[in-house]
Amino acid sequence: MTIQKSAAPRKLWLGLILLFYMVVTVAYGIVNPLFEAPDAHLHYLITQYIADKGRLPVVGDADLYGSEINQEAAQPPLYYLLGAALITPLDTADSYTQIWKNKYAAIGNAATPVNRNRLIHTAVEEWPWQGYAQAAHLLRLFSTLLGLGTLLCIYAGARLIWLQDSYKPLLATGLVAFLPQFNFLHASISNDPLIVFWAAFALWQVIRLWLDGVTNGRLLLLGITVGLAALSKNAGITLFLYSAGMLLLLALRDQVSLQKLGVWFALLVVPVLILASWLWLRNWMLYGDMTATNQFIQIAGGDRGYTLWQVLAESSGLWVSLLGVFGWFTVRPPDWVYTFWNGIVIVALLGGLWGVVKGKWRQTAQGPSSLATLLAQPWVLPVLLAGWVMAVYVSLLLFMLQTEAAQGRLLLPALLPLALGLTYGWTTTNWLRRLSKILTPLALIVTIYCLWFVIRPVYALPEVVESLPQDALLIDADMGHGLTLVGALVETETAVPGDNIALTLYWRANTIPTEPTEQVISLFGRDVVEIGKTHTYHGRGMYPVTLWPAGRLIADRTQVNIDAQTAVPVLGRITVGLADGERVAAGEVKILPTQWPHAAEPRQALLGEKIELLDVIVEPQQAAPGETIELNVQWRATAVPAGDYTTLLHLGQPDQPPLAVGDRPPLNGDYPTRVWAAGEIINDAYMLTLPEDVGNGRHPLWIGMYDSKSLERLPLTVNGEPQPTNVFLAGWIEVGE
């Protein structure tokens, strides 16, 4: 699909871009489950409310479909009115009661391994679509068609600017058509695609007015467009102010009379007032705010009172979500996707800078004779289009000062000038222009990758299998509610703090419960401290037991995140149970440090050929009866030990009964020797309390190891010499009052 200037007619290449856009975006709408996009189910319910009631909602109305939709009830209504007209002929009775929200949804957390779904998806959503599923997919298609309109506006705007270049408009269109966030947004139910379309349509008209001249018909069309934008989202008000400013600059450039300027403004303003003033008046009467912004802020928890610097600190999230963040901000593509798009932007910026430097701006700016002459310079239009980008960004920043709204989709009304800027930057040199011909095909591949290999796996349901794998742990425990935990398989052998541990739980529902049970997986570290936990419906939060086939074996593959502050090394113990039931052991996993401690050299002793005693420090070396001695010990494994060993710690002569004993497994058994691997260095601490009746004097302190089952001591050598009692002299303790 490489775009070339003369390889095929311009319309054919445009048709291919639009065709691939439609195919990919419709695929997004099919693969991504219903309502798995920010506020999608709320937008649907507002649309459904209008279709059912025949009137606009009011924040706080008792008959709203749940208090949650108050968040969208104050939105400008055009999208919902159009959507209601589309779905009214469909049978969507009781759709509100069929939408099942995941109460454990981890909204905004793309790092979580579970609960990334906002909704529970039932058989109602399966093909052939019926009821609310049919209506929702129709609304998704409506969004997709709006995106098609936006692409046509971008192409048309680029054609106006580059009349003699058929390639640049295609590049501008292709870059937007396969931006992952653009595809995702235009496959969801949202009012954003409508305002994005109106903004692109209005910007195309502004460019036409600037380049081809003003006519009354063109101004009237712009006024209608801006009025419809104001009915779609509050960004339409920003578009109104921007259009008015552009019109004023046009009047200054063309030196029109005040009378003509008045006619121009009337043609712009009157349609806006006719279309949108009733909404502003309604908002003022209902909420005391013509934009109803106060309702958004109030429902979101009130004005958060951020400073500009705090808002700017959220820019990274704003940027990545402009490129591609999916779900309810719970699904992110790998970093290379962002690197790809960041590279496109950086090269465009550098290319654009080069174009400015080598251009004729200095010649045209040597001293225009008047403001009109200045405004007639060719660089003015690009600057004014960049002004629209800044207007969108600044209006979003002002909103973010009051409430959380760092969402890149809110910048998409600025797509047209952004696409023009990227295109210009990539075509300022011949070699960049040649290189740019691979961008659209690569962008297409990347967005398909995001759909199939990023989004699709997140919502995949557990498999139904015939039997337990041979390498799985057989549990066969009755967990209550008619459920049996047949087995478990821990797939992660080693991990570090912050990692996710993958495991598969094999469940069977002998009878299907009437209510969905909740699965709890806990991971325990040292001293039985919980270092990881998931509390979800089964299937990572997506497959409650009420949806299971009875009597079949469900392979529920899930993950548990390890607390980043976990003390390591440790053999993590995994338990599984239902929220209201007992827990059973389901496996173990080695959790290791990212870097082992520095080894103390030389070694002090070798135990059993596979464990080295590197260092032992005794503190204090003088103590009274009843006081406690601490030993800091460093071990190193040279190979995997044959079993579980216990550290021997004895005070007194080695051939006599010990005066005091401090035996225990290394790390209190939380990291048993049977799991040690070659090269691992274990820092450990032991405590030895002196008996009250211990005699005064100087007593030796011995250390060694023995098999925890047979109690047989490991052979111990020092400098190659076997020790007769298989212990090492750790130090001397001076005992006295």
pLDDT of residue 95: 81
Strand-pair category, 721-722 with 119-120: unpaired
Which of 481, 505, 498, 616 has its CA nearest to residue 568? 498
Residue spans of the chain under pLDDT 50: 1-5, 7, 363-365
Q: Which CATH architecture fits 463-591?
A: Sandwich (2.60)
Distance between terminal CA atoms of the chain? Answer: 90
- Which residue intervals of 332-379 are DSSP H helices? 335-358, 361-364, 371-375
Q: How far apart are CA 714 and CA 722, in angstroms?
A: 11
Q: How far apart are CA 213 and CA 708, in angstroms?
A: 92
Instruction: Report the sign of the C-alpha dihedral through residues 26, 28, 30, 34, in that order.
Output: negative
Work out the angle between the directed axes of helices 235-254 and 192-212 (0-180°, nearest 10): 0
What global pTM score does this model have?
0.89
Helix (H) or strand (E) holding 282: helix 258-287
Coil, helix or strand at residue 8: coil
Which of 465, 562, 533 has its CA nearest to residue 504? 465
Token output for 212? 């081809």
Render 174-201 in DSSP notation, one character per residue: HHHHT-HHHHHHTTS--SHHHHHHHHHH
Where are the domain boundaries for CATH 2.60.40.770 in the chain? 605-735
pLDDT of residue 736: 82
Per-residue DSSP letter, 706: E
Token output for 280? 């502003």
Q: How far apart are CA 554 and CA 467, in angstroms?
A: 10
Which of 309, 325, 265, 328 has its CA nearest to residue 34? 328
- Residue 406 — φ and ψ, nearest 5°? -80, 70
- Bridge partners, 557 (sequence order): 504
Which of 213, 215, 235, 214 has its CA nearest to residue 226? 235
Q: How far apart are CA 302 and CA 402, in angstroms?
A: 8
Q: How many residues does the chain have?
A: 737
Strand order, beta sheet including 483-490: 463-465, 553-561, 500-509, 483-490, 473-480
Where are the domain boundaries for CATH 2.60.40.1930 in the chain? 463-591
Per-residue DSSP letter, 453: I
Q: How far apart are CA 608 and CA 38, in angstroms?
A: 60
For domain 605-735, the CATH class is mainly beta
Render 35-65 in DSSP notation, one character per residue: T-STTHHHHHHHHHHHHHHSS---TT-TTSS
Q: How far apart are CA 85 and CA 691, in angstroms?
A: 87
pLDDT of residue 64: 85
Q: How far apart are CA 139 and CA 178, in angstroms?
A: 21
Render 97-156 in DSSP notation, one character per residue: HH-EE-TT--TT-TT-SS---SEE--GGGSSSP-HHHHHHHHHHHHHHHHHHHHHHHHHH
Residue pair 121/547 in contact by the 8 Å Cβ criterion: no
